[in-house]
Amino acid sequence: MSALFEPYVLREVTIPNRVWMPPMCQYSALPEGPSAGAPHDWHFAHYAARATGGTGLIIVEATAVSPEGRISPYDLGLWNDTQVEAFRRITAFLTAQGTVPAVQLGHGGRKSSTDRPWKGGAPVGPDAHGWRALAPSPVPFADGHPVPDELTAAGIQEIVGQFADAARRALAAGFEIVEIHGAHGYLINEFLSPHSNHRTDSYGGSYENRIRFALEVVDAVREVWPEEKPLFFRVSATDWLEDGGWSADDTVRFAARLREHGVDLLDVSTGGNVSGGGHIPVGPGYQVPFATRVRNETSLPVAAVGLITETGQAEKIIANGEADAVLLGRELLRNPSFARLAARELGAEVHVPEQYHRSV
C-alpha cells in the first residue's frame, strides 16, 4: 500500500491521506465594508477545486484574528460573525468531498498593511486601506517599511484573546483543525526571534521570554478548541542567519514545549523574518530535513514543505519516516488534482466525486 495514501488520525479526526494543502494567501477579500475579510466566490472555487482533486487536508490561507492583523487589506479574517457564515459554505463543501477543512489563524505584525504581491507588496497607508503595524519592537522589517508600534503588555494580552475568539469562530464555521501561524516573519515569529524581538520585559531577551507570547496564544486557543480536534502550529525552523536569529536548535527545543501545551503537529517551514532572506539553499525538498529532525528528536508529528513537486518524492518522504504528511503549495496551484493523479500512479485509492467516475 502507498504510504502517501494511508489515512492519518490525530485525536478524533481522520485525514484520508497525506497529501495536504498549505495556507497560501489569495489577497482577494474585500478590504472594507460589511463583508470585509469574508471569503467569496474566488475562495470557494479555489479550495473546492483542490478538494475535488482528492487533497486530504486543506489549510485555508492565513486568516487574520483582527483587522490590524491582516497582512494586506485584502486578507481573510475571522473577527466577526459575517465571516463565519461565509466560511461555512467552503467547509461544508470540503467536508462533503471527504477533505478535512482546516484554517490558519495569524497576525501579520510588522509585515502587516502591505499591498498585494502583484502590486509590488509595498507598505500601504490609510489612503489605500492601510493602518499602523504592530510588533514586539519598533524595528521595521526592511528599508522603506514604516517603524511599527511596539506592543504594550496589555496589547499583547488583547491579541492573545483575539486568537482565542477567532478559534471559537473557526469552530462555528465548520473547521476541524486550527493552525496557529508562528512562521514567516509575522507577529508570533517576530517574538520568537532575537533578530526582531529587542524587548527587555518578560516577552523579550531570554529564550523563555521570547517563546512566552507563542505559548500564551497556544494555551488560549487550546482552551477553547475542542479536546477531540487537533491543533497545529506553523514554525519557521530557522531565520537562515549565521548568528543572532532563530535556529534549528531553538525549533527542536520549542517543539517539545508546544507538545506539552497541546499542539498535535508542527508544520515546519523556514525563513521570512529577515529582509533579503540570508543564504537559503533552495532546491527540491530543501526544508524537509528540518521537519525530520523535529520528528526524530521530539516525536511530535510533523508536516514537511519546500519544493515537493513529484509523486515519487512525496511517497519517499512519508515511507522513509521523514515526515507524517507533505504540504504541496505551488504544485497544488499548478495541478489541483495532484492527489488523484498521484494515487493512480501509485495504485492507491482516493476520493473521486461521483460526477468524475466515468473519466478517471
Q: How far apart are CA 347 and CA 221, in angstroms?
A: 40
Phi and psi based region of residue 155 (left: phi greater than 0; alpha: psi -120 to 50; beta: remaining): alpha
Q: Convert 100-125 to b/e letters by CB count within 10 Å (16 or more is b).
A: bbbbbbbbbbbbbbbbbeeeeeebbe
Per the annotation, the verdict on 47 as an active-site residue is no
Catalytic residue among 27, 186, 203, 356: 186
Name residues whose C-beta falls within 8 Å of residue 259's C-beta, 6 or more positions apart in sequence: 298, 299, 300
Nearest Cα to Cα of residue 109 among 32, 185, 197, 207: 185
283: number of Cβ within 10 Å: 9
Nearest Cα to Cα of residue 109 among 242, 221, 4, 213: 213
Backbone angles phi, psi at 316, to 5 degrees: -65, -40
Active site residues: 186
